[in-house]
Amino acid sequence: MRIIGRLAYPLFCLAIAANVVRQPISRPIGLKYLSGILLFAILSQWPYSRYFDNGHLNILFVIALGLVIAQAMHHRTPGLILCGVLALMTTVALRPILSYGLTGVLLPTALVIALQARKLEIKIVSWSLSALLAAIANVGSSILLLPDLPTMDHAVIIAAALAPVLGLTLLQVQVPPLRSVKGWLYPVYPIHLLLLSSLSISF
């Protein structure tokens, strides 16, 4: 179950990056998307804190910051660049309490670069960077102690690193475009946290 959870975050970041890349350059359309994420980030914080009790912000805050920086990288308008810089500064300030830290926030931007890459060398570098960021986001600085980590942590690192690579590979295949995530799906996150916290109290 833990490994499945570690696969989910990089793939969610990839979905965000794919939606950003689909937007016409200099015509960002993600304000409503960002507002929805922020709204449910706030609504999710109480059940998240109740279940995990780790003093961290839930991943929707990380996703929101990552989306702003990814938009800035893609569109590069003065206003969005300023927003991207502010989001990066906010990330650095909140890093100790962000679920996936600085690397988790930067992952959508790395995936935007990977999706836009055309030359083989840039693809290799950007895909490798995405895999590295996904792995570090999941285990932090303990990745430096890789030989001494338990087997389960090795599995988590491998799963996290492979997730963006597998996702990027699938996106190279010509398939019908997927529908973007709609607003009705946002409540799933706080609802599942409430269910988990209720189950943990029951047992």
- Interval 145-175: pLDDT, tens: 667 777 777 877 888 899 999 999 988 875 5
What residues contact 143, with CB distance under 8 A and at least 6 apart?
Answer: 135, 136, 157
In a domain, 17, yes or no: yes
Domain count, the chain: 1
Domain membership of residue 100 as a residue range: 2-176
pTM of the model: 0.80
In a domain, 182, yes or no: no
pLDDT value at position 47?
A: 84
- Distance, CA of 134 to CA of 166 (rounded, Å): 12
Distance of CA 74 to CAs 3, 57, 109, 169, 174, Å?
31, 26, 8, 21, 23
pLDDT value at position 111?
A: 96
Dmax over CA atoms of the chain, in Å, equals 54
In a domain, 190, yes or no: no
pLDDT value at position 192?
A: 53
pLDDT value at position 180?
A: 54
In a domain, 185, yes or no: no
* 122-149 per-residue burial string, b: 16 or more CB within 10 A, e: under 16: ebeebbebbbbbbbbbbbeeebeeeeee
Mean of the per-residue pLDDT values of the chain: 82
Of the candidate ranges 22-26, 99-103, 112-116, 128-132, the one whose mean pLDDT is the lowest = 22-26
